[in-house]
Amino acid sequence: MAKPKEVIVGVDMGGTSLRALVVDAVNRILAVEEIPTRVGQKPEAIVADVAAMVRRAVARAGMKRAHIRAVSIGVPGAVDPQRGIVHAAPNLGWKSFPFGSKLKALLRVPIFVENDVNVGVVGEHALGAGKGCRELVGIFPGTGIGGGLIVGGKLYEGCRGSAGEVGHIILLAGGPRCGCGRRGCAEALASRTAMERDVRAAIKAGQPSVVLKIMKERGRERMTSSIINRALKKKDLVVRKVLKRAQYYLGLLVANVVNLLDPECVVIGGGIAERLGEDYVKPIRETAFEYFLNPRDKTRIKIVAGRLGDDAAPLGAVVLARQRLRERTHRAR
């Protein structure tokens, strides 16, 4: 059994589900708990859900709350990690919410709050596809496109905590409107949401596709990565065309960040990358190579799919919490 106070609970707050991992000092997963996200509920209700989920996960690991050193959470939005405040989480409907202090009042353990993609990138850097790299960029296409930066082996957050927002790099001036209100962002061109928009538009224009049928069969209102995968297996030409366009724009995005930062590794994470793997990443890589400003030794820059899947964010949250606990200890000496 893991020693008391060496165990940290990592939590990923997704738009569809909340997921908690109980993790020991050598990053072994002792227990997993997952529940639906009650989108539309008041923030306090979701805080209560997270607290209850953490308690169940800890009990499932055969432990007590007193054994837990900290709880570390990735939230889909703009976060102040120092104060545990979620400035804006559009998918949850949160604005300027003191999530950290609210959760600490219920669990009575140290709480760390960070952007969900940042912790996912930390997870892939420490334990996944980017292990051993000093300089890394993570790009996570999903409902939107999130990003994160590892510089000098550490998460780089910028002076305001908002570094790594690669999804809002403009790739097509005057292009489709993004959720941020601007036009032509990478997110508006290559996210799963953008793909669904384009698939629905093609179907409306009379092009045959099995997507809506699959969604109905599976009781889904949104085009998930599993539905994309299923449609591709059925050789759906609309999905193939839309995916190819998204991969092209993701290739341009990767080239842009490589030209700016010249990292050792670019990790493509998220559900589509997890489902499709190299079939998804290879066209992205090929387009990126075409647009590298410096083509010399281009294959030294690894452009790869993430390896940790749904565990990337909660494991990264744990890794980041350990780093920050060590920093606190050093400051106290």
Q: What is the mean pLDDT of residues 77-100?
A: 87
Over 90: is that where the pLDDT of 162 sits?
no
DSSP for 133-184?
-SSEEEEEESSSEEEEEEETTEEE--SSS-TT-GGGSBSSTT-SBPTTS-BS
Q: What is the mean pLDDT of residues 233-257?
A: 98
Q: What is the mean pLDDT of residues 77-102?
A: 88
Q: Which pLDDT belongs to residue 40?
A: 80
Domain topology for 131-306: Nucleotidyltransferase; domain 5 (3.30.420)
Q: What is the mean pLDDT of residues 107-134?
A: 94
Share of the chain above pLDDT 90, in %: 78
DSSP for 37-105?
--TTS-HHHHHHHHHHHHHHHHHHTT--GGGEEEEEEEESSEEETTTTEEEEETTTTEEEE-HHHHHHH
- Tell me what the pLDDT averaged over the chain comes to: 93
Q: Which pLDDT belongs to residue 179?
A: 85
State the pLDDT confidence band at 1, using cuts at 50, 70 and 90.
low
On the question of a common fold for 7-120+311-332 and 131-306, the answer reads: yes
Sheet holding 94-97, edge to edge: 78-80, 85-89, 94-97
Q: Residue 270 contacts by C-beta under 8 Å, 6 or more apart in sequence?
A: 140, 141, 142, 192, 225, 306
More confident position, 253 or 271: 253
Over 90: is that where the pLDDT of 262 sits?
yes
Over 60: is that where the pLDDT of 263 sits?
yes
pTM over the 0.85 mark? yes
Considering only 93-102, 205-214, 231-240, which range has the smallest mean pLDDT?
93-102
Over 70: is that where the pLDDT of 79 sits?
yes
State the pLDDT confidence band at 50, using cuts at 50, 70 and 90.
very high
**What are the residue boundaries of the structural domains of the chain, listed by start?**
7-120+311-332, 131-306
Over 80: is that where the pLDDT of 333 sits?
no
Q: What is the mean pLDDT of residues 221-243?
A: 96
Domain topology for 7-120+311-332: Nucleotidyltransferase; domain 5 (3.30.420)
